[in-house]
């Protein structure tokens, strides 16, 4: 079975500061890993994904994440936060075989102050 | 290109009432899903349909039924609503093989349901 733990339900940063959102996963098989973003009153949108190959994955809006198998982590980072990054971010995991269903973490709300 | 469309956007029900949440996608996706989102619990899968003609239970199916009407449409029914079903409901779709890296989930904007 797969599961995801997101540390910190809320993260606050100043505009221009580094963004770091933490995600650790548990999976009995090699996983696919995802970050989704949810803006207010909207559905989730895919930010980036790791399937196979390069462990550093770049996504939209300047975000990136690194798959670290030894640490079972897939943390999301952005060098410089913008006000428009304020949203809720979800890490998710699925198996890499068979029909795949995503298992989501509980989410981290990113607050960006001027 | 509308993507995934959900109706209604908001709904208030009394305990015991029934209702159907509608979902349609125009991306020719094979797979469709219903999730509920509750504070501090992330998104939990209620039911999914891997392809037209099939439906399967997800993590929290109790109190719900689904119908995959055709390839485009996937509805969620609450037969006898309970306050514990107060939530935001999201429909999503994806291409073949499920929510793979090659075919991520596409979400609707959600239905906010309150059961009093």
Query: Kind and range of the H or E element at A85?
Result: none
- Which position has the higher pLDDT, B71 or B101? B71
pLDDT score of A65:
97
pLDDT score of B102:
62
pLDDT score of B100:
53
Give the gap in angstroms from C-alpha B88 to the nearest C-alpha of chain A.
10
Q: Does B100 touch chain A (CB under 8 A)?
A: yes
Q: Does B42 touch chain A (CB under 8 A)?
A: yes
* Burial classification of residue B55, based on how many CB atoms lie within 10 Å of its CB (0-12 exposed, 13-18 middle, 19 or more buried): middle
- What is the rounded CA–CA span in Å between residue A69 and residue B65? 38
Task: Decide if pLDDT at B98 tops 80.
Answer: no
pLDDT score of B72:
96
- What is the rounded CA–CA span in Å between residue B79 and residue B97? 30
pLDDT score of B99:
54
* Average pLDDT value for chain A: 92
Q: Are A25 and A79 in contact (CB under 8 A)?
A: no
Beta strand B106-107 with B111-115 is: unpaired
Task: Decide if pLDDT at B5 tops 90.
Answer: yes
Residue of A nearest to B10 (CA): A41
pLDDT score of B84:
97
Lowest-pLDDT range of A87-91, B16-20, B31-35, B92-96: B92-96
Task: Decide if pLDDT at A54 tops 70.
Answer: yes
- What is the rounded CA–CA span in Å between residue A37 and residue A1? 24
Query: Kind and range of the H or E element at A21?
Result: strand A19-26
Give the gap in angstroms from C-alpha A13 to the nearest C-alpha of chain B.
21
pLDDT score of B1:
63
HSE at residue B81, side-chain half, CA atoms within 13 A, is: 20
User: What residues of A are in the B interface, CB distance below 8 Å?
Assistant: 9, 32, 34, 36, 41-46, 49-51, 90, 94, 98-102, 104-107
pLDDT score of B49:
92
Task: Decide if pLDDT at B3 tops 90.
Answer: yes
**How do residues A13-51 score in pLDDT, each as one tens digit?**
999 999 999 999 998 777 889 999 999 888 999 999 998
Distances (CA, A) of A39 to A42, B52, B60, B73, B109: 6, 30, 25, 25, 10
Query: Kind and range of the H or E element at A92?
Result: strand A87-95
**How do residues B15-60 score in pLDDT, each as one tens digit?**
999 999 999 999 999 999 999 999 889 999 999 998 899 999 999 9
Token couple for B116: 């009093």
**How do residues B54-81 score in pLDDT, each as one tens digit?**
999 999 999 999 999 999 999 999 999 9
DSSP per-residue string spanning B35-98: EEEETTTEEEEEEEESSTT--EE-S--TTEEEEE-SSSBEEEEESS--GGG-EEEEEEEE-TTB
pLDDT score of A97:
66
Q: Provide, as residue numbers in chain B, all residues whose Cβ is less than 8 Å from the Cβ of A100.
A: 97-100
- Which position has the higher pLDDT, B104 or A20? A20
Q: What is the mean pLDDT of residues A63-86?
A: 96
**A64 contact partners, CB below 8 Å, separation of at least 6:** A48, A56, A57, A58, A76, A77, A78
- What is the rounded CA–CA span in Å between residue A64 and residue A46? 12
Which one, of A53, A34, A52, lies nearest residue A44 by Cα? A34
């Amino acid at each position: 079975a797969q599961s995801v733990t997101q540390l910190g339900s809320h993260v606050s940063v100043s505009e221009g500061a580094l963004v770091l959102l933490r995600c650790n996963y548990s999976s009995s098989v090699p996983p696919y890993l995802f970050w989704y973003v949810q803006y207010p009153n909207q559905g989730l949108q895919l930010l980036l994904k790791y399937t196979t190959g390069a462990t550093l994955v770049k996504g939209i809006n300047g975000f990136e994440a690194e798959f670290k198998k030894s640490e079972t982590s897939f943390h999301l980072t952005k060098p410089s936060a913008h006000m428009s990054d304020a949203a809720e971010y979800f890490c998710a995991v699925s198996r890499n075989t068979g029909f795949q269903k995503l298992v989501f973490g509980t989410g981290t709300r990113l607050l960006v102050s001027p | 290109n509308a993507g995934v469309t959900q109706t209604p956007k908001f709904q208030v029900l009394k305990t015991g009432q029934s209702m159907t949440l509608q979902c349609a996608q125009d991306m020719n996706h094979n797979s469709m899903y219903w999730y509920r989102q509750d504070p501090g619990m992330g998104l939990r899968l209620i039911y999914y349909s891997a392809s037209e003609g099939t439906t399967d239970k997800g993590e929290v199916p109790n109190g719900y039924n689904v119908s995959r009407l055709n390839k485009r449409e996937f509805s969620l029914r609450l037969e006898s609503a309970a306050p514990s079903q107060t939530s935001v409901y999201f429909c999503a779709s994806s291409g073949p093989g499920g929510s793979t890296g090659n075919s991520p989930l596409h979400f609707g904007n959600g239905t906010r349901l309150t059961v009093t």
